[in-house]
Copies of this chain bind each other. A is one copy, B any other.
Amino acid sequence: MHEVFQKPDPLRIRLSGRGGQGIILSGVIIAQAAMNGGQFVVHTQSYGPEARLGASKSEVVISQREIAFPEVVLADILLCLSLDAFHKYGTQVASHGLSVVDDLVPIERPREGQIVLPLRRTARELGNELTANIVGIGTVIALAEIVEIAHVRQAIKEWVKPEFHMINLQAFDRGLQLGGRFRVSA
């Protein structure tokens, strides 16, 4: 059971995985959801020539005020879908931070604040492993309420191709359920 996450402002989120896992789209959706909620947002993604295979990341900083330092060094929230990304970013998390790591990533023993959840396996059950990023968004939002659920659904509809709306909305709901199980009840 994880302690209730105290949301800092600004809130620094790092989404990571392999190229092809939809990491950019995840960042766009969280950024859009935060914007839909009237917050200040800086969204940065960087990738190199090997982005389609190597570790990929997308960072979103959210605040009630203008954001002076958009860089993310230590993340308050890390989502990690691949071993590459875990090696690169797994320890770059603030001491009060929260990490959600896919359970297919072979990590030895979760540290404090690391929650291992079946993101890719859940996405496969839904019929499309490519929705693991959206399952992951659901889990971190259930755990940390970084943006409002309705604003994420709206952002999914704005950015995902219509034929994939339903499966992505399902993936988001499954993520909310997965993450919700780890919340401390008040």
Residue numbers of A with Cβ under 8 A of B are 24, 28, 31-32, 35, 38-49, 51-52, 66-67, 70, 161-163
Contact = CB atoms under 8 A, between A and B. Distances in A.
Contact of A47 (B41, B44, B47, B161): B41
16 contacts: A28-B28, A31-B45, A40-B46, A40-B48, A40-B49, A41-B46, A41-B47, A42-B46, A43-B44, A43-B45, A43-B46, A46-B67, A48-B66, A161-B161, A162-B162, A162-B163
A49 B42 contact: no
Contacts of A70: 44, 46
Given A35-B47, A41-B45, 4 more contacts: A24-B32, A41-B48, A46-B70, A161-B162
Contacts of A66: 48
